[in-house]
Amino acid sequence: MAVMNLPNIEFFLILGRAVFLVFSFAVAAVTFTAWRRSAREQAETVLAQNRAISEQLAALAARLNAADQHLAHLAERLEHTQPRAANAPAGQQGYQIAIRLARSGAAVDELIAGCGLTKAEAELVKRLHGPPLPELRQVS
């Protein structure tokens, strides 16, 4: 009778280990490749977002610069239009002087120029403290 030589169990274990190592290496290679591809795509997305944010920031900086220039221009115009307010008496003293002038019959323009009041303030002081206006008669 012919005796068949069956391979030894150790041979099968070594063969199994080799197959497992090759399979594990293949899985690791596929996973690593997918991971690198994903990382590259994420980096490209972040760079695109960074570019968009940089463009928006540049646009905002330009708008801010334009607003600063406009504000400086407005401040300059304000300084030129209100030099009288700096020379006028401050606070309550200005109103006291305006009341005295109104009682003596000063015009609204004089109150504005002499006391630094606005037109509405000068008109109010004139109405409250100025000489009474002649009453209008109603025709029946």
Q: Return d(Cα 105, Cα 130) in angstroms, integer.
A: 6
Q: Return d(Cα 12, Cα 19) in angstroms, integer.
A: 10
Query: For 9-35, how does the pLDDT look when each residue is reduced to its tens digit (9 = 90+)?
Result: 999 999 999 999 999 999 999 999 999
According to the model, what pLDDT value does residue 95 have?
A: 84
Between these two residues, 98 and 33, which has the higher pLDDT value?
33
Q: Return d(Cα 64, Cα 58) in angstroms, integer.
A: 10
Contact 117, 94 (CB under 8 A): yes
According to the model, what pLDDT value does residue 89 have?
A: 47
Query: For 105-115, how does the pLDDT look when each residue is reduced to its tens digit (9 = 90+)?
Result: 888 998 888 88
CA angle at residue 129 from 126 to 132, to 5 degrees? 85
Q: Return d(Cα 80, Cα 115) in angstroms, integer.
A: 18
The amino acid sitting at 79 is E
pTM > 0.85: no
134, with CB counted inside 10 A (0-12, 13-18, 19+), is exposed
Query: For 40-76, how does the pLDDT look when each residue is reduced to its tens digit (9 = 90+)?
Result: 999 999 999 999 999 999 999 999 999 999 999 998 8
According to the model, what pLDDT value does residue 111 have?
A: 85
According to the model, what pLDDT value does residue 91 have?
A: 64
